[in-house]
Each structure stands twice: as structure tokens, then as C-alpha cells.
């Protein structure tokens, strides 16, 4: 009787509350039925952020993340960091998404990225010259400079302003349709590194401010808690290696990037990518690659057998020539 009474009261609730209750029950059922670990955040995001017509009227998003090990997502679950979180959100908005870059890293399908472990800003620019003209992303997100601070004997905070400015200027030159999201560096538990981070962030903010004043499609994703903004990475979010965030820290960084993407979309800066043969859907591209590789593997035994037959045919002739 008590159960019936509860259902009777629920039936009298407004539609919004009914939907919320059903959503929570659905999450519990998913958690019960699934055998593996459940990402409640992902399931809840799907409920509260329904698929829309897409950012910028649904244009394809060719996305390049630039940086070092933090951009790769090292020491996170599946080495996904914030990149998969951002991609899932973009797709949920209704856009086709293709991540581009020279590296592939992280336990998810479309995991291309322009980031390499322990890479400072200057070599980042040199590597971008090898890939950006060919791919021409229309959305670029930069989280670079932490490796400069972790390698102060060789790099440090000196000239980060100039190096970051050179990097962004080149990106606009090589990919004119790009919108760029620059980010500051998260906090460090080491005092000497944090001093470098403070200096580096001041320089990164100055570069972003200068570019915005010049009318460039640039926004700053503020990652450091010292600016008084909520939900930033703090020392409690840094992992045992004293360098990389734990999953909760990466989620915070992902949320900040998502807010910045919404910002540039509202400003009307996102442009369709150039039609240069790069597929619009990164996951479809990867499936095609895997299917092609499978076909090649299946054909390889036949090719090897044919090669062996050719060798058998050639050997007698060779011997006869030698006997002549």
C-alpha cells in the first residue's frame, strides 16, 4: 500500500520532476545491468544536454589539441584526459568531429592529437609546421608551457610570451579558418615550478589579450585557481607524480574548454573547415582504416604464397644458367 501511495504522489508531480525521477532510475538500472565500471557523469550529461542541431549550424569540427603530456591525458583513466570528454560533448551537440594531429594517444577511437610528452613550446611550433598545413583544423585548443616549467634547466619561463605568440601567429597563417582557444597552465604542488607557472601564465594571458585586441578569433581558457574563478584544478587534484591531474582534475579542465567552445560559438567565430580531403568524422575514418588493414592482413598470406611460387620457378632457371 505504501508503494502505491508513493506512485500516486509521483503521478501528481509536474512533468519536469517526473522526467528527473525517471532519469535517476534509468541511471541506477544502467549501473545495475552493466558489468564494467559506470561513468555516471557521462550518462547524466546525456540526460541534461540533449543533442541539438549542432554548433555553428552543425558545421564539421576538425579539432587539434596542442601541448604536451597533460594534453595527451597521461596518468588519467585510459589516458583519455579531457580530450574524450570534449569530443563526446561536441558530438552530443550534433556536429561531426575529427581530431587531427601527428600522434595517437588514449583509449578511445578518434584519438589523434598534436601533443608529445615533455614537449616545450618551441619544439611544439616546429612540429606543427609538419602537420597543420595539411590538416588545417578549424578549432585549435592549446595547453602548452607546463613542460617549459618542469624543465627549467633547459627552458623555464623566459621568452614564453614570444614563443607562444610565434606559435599562434603561425597557426593562423597555416590554417586561416581556425578559431583558437589558448589556456593557462594549472597549478603545481612544487614551489619552484609554481613560480614558473605564475610567470608563464602572465605571459600567456598577455598574448591572448594582444590577439583579442587585434581582432583575432582567440579566447583564453583560464585554468589556474589564482584568478579567483571557481572549479579550477587545485593541489588536491594533482596525482602522485606531482605533475598530472587525477581524473577529477582532467574533468575540470575539460569543462573549462567546453565553456570556451561555447563562448567562441556564441561569438560566431567558428567557420567550416577547408575541403582538403580530410574526413569530417574521425571515428568513421578510423573504422575505414581498420577495415583496410584487415583486408591487407587477409590478402597477405596469398601474396606470400605467390612469392614463394615465384621463388620456386626462378631457382631452376638460375641453376641452369650457372651450369651453362
The tens digit of pLDDT for each residue in 142-178 reads 999 999 999 999 999 999 999 999 999 999 999 999 9
| Plot region of 220 (φ>0 → left; ψ -120 to 50 → alpha; else → beta) | beta
Supply the DSSP symbol for 203. Answer: H
**If pLDDT is split at 50, 70 and 90, which confidence band does 17 have?**
low
pLDDT at 3 over 80: no
133 compared with 12, residue with greater pLDDT: 133
Architecture of domain 56-266: 3-Layer(aba) Sandwich (3.40)
pLDDT at 38: 47
* Per-residue pLDDT tens over the stretch 81-108: 999 999 999 999 999 999 999 999 999 9
pLDDT at 14: 61
pLDDT at 295: 80
Provide the mean pLDDT of the chain.
Answer: 86
pLDDT at 294: 83
- Residue pair 66/114 in contact by the 8 Å Cβ criterion: yes
Q: How far is it, in rounded angstroms, from Cα 302 to Cα 312?
A: 15
* Per-residue pLDDT tens over the stretch 273-283: 999 999 999 99
Q: How far is it, in rounded angstroms, from Cα 123 to Cα 189?
A: 26
Mean pLDDT of 27-53: 52
* Per-residue pLDDT tens over the stretch 209-246: 999 999 999 999 999 999 999 999 999 999 999 999 99
Q: Taking CA 121 as the corner, what is the angle to CA 115 and CA 126, rounded to the nearest 5 degrees?
A: 75
pLDDT at 296: 82
pLDDT at 18: 57
Q: What percentage of the chain has pLDDT greater than the value 70?
A: 76
252 compared with 296, residue with greater pLDDT: 252
Q: How far is it, in rounded angstroms, from Cα 76 to Cα 78?
A: 6
Chain region(s) in the chain for CATH 3.40.50.1110: 56-266
Closest CA to 95 of 217, 241, 275, 270: 270
pLDDT at 312: 47
Q: How far is it, in rounded angstroms, from Cα 77 to Cα 37?
A: 11
Radius of gyration of the chain (CA): 25
**If pLDDT is split at 50, 70 and 90, which confidence band does 298 have?**
confident
In the beta sheet, which residues pair with residue 104?
112
pLDDT at 269 over 70: yes
Q: What percentage of the chain has pLDDT greater than the value 90?
A: 73
Amino acid at each position: 500500500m505504501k508503494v502505491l501511495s508513493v506512485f500516486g504522489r509521483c503521478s501528481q508531480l509536474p512533468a519536469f520532476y517526473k522526467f528527473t525521477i525517471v532519469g535517476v532510475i534509468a541511471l541506477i538500472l544502467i549501473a545495475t545491468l552493466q558489468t564494467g565500471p559506470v561513468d555516471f557523469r557521462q550518462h547524466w550529461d546525456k540526460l541534461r544536454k540533449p543533442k541539438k542541431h549542432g554548433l555553428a549550424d552543425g558545421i564539421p569540427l576538425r579539432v587539434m589539441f596542442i601541448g604536451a603530456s597533460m594534453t595527451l591525458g597521461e596518468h588519467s583513466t585510459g589516458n583519455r584526459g579531457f580530450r574524450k570528454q570534449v569530443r563526446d560533448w561536441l558530438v552530443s551537440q550534433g556536429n561531426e568531429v575529427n581530431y587531427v594531429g601527428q600522434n595517437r594517444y588514449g583509449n578511445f577511437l578518434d584519438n589523434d592529437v598534436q601533443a608529445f610528452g615533455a614537449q616545450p613550446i618551441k619544439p611544439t611550433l616546429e612540429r606543427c609546421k609538419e602537420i597543420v598545413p595539411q590538416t588545417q583544423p578549424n578549432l585549435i585548443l592549446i595547453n602548452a608551457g607546463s613542460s617549459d616549467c618542469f624543465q627549467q634547466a633547459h627552458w623555464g619561463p623566459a621568452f614564453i610570451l614570444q614563443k607562444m605568440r610565434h606559435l599562434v601567429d603561425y597557426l593562423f597563417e597555416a590554417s586561416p579558418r581556425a578559431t583558437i582557444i589558448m589556456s593557462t597552465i594549472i597549478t603545481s604542488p612544487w614551489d619552484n615550478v609554481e613560480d614558473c607557472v605564475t610567470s608563464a601564465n602572465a605571459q600567456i594571458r598577455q598574448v591572448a589579450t594582444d590577439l583579442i585586441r587585434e581582432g583575432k578569433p582567440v579566447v583564453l581558457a583560464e585554468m589556474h585557481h589564482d584568478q579567483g574563478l571557481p572549479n579550477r584544478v587545485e593541489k588536491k587534484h594533482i596525482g602522485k607524480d606531482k605533475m598530472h591531474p587525477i581524473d577529477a582534475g582532467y574533468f575540470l579542465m575539460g569543462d573549462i574548454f567546453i565553456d570556451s567552445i561555447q563562448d567562441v560559438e556564441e561569438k560566431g567565430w567558428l567557420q567550416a573547415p577547408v575541403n582538403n580531403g580530410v574526413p569530417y568524422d574521425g571515428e568513421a575514418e578510423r573504422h575505414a582504416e581498420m577495415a583496410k588493414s584487415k583486408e591487407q592482413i587477409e590478402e597477405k598470406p596469398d601474396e606470400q604464397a605467390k612469392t614463394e611460387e615465384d621463388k620456386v620457378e626462378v631457382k631452376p632457371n638460375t641453376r641452369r644458367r650457372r651450369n651453362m
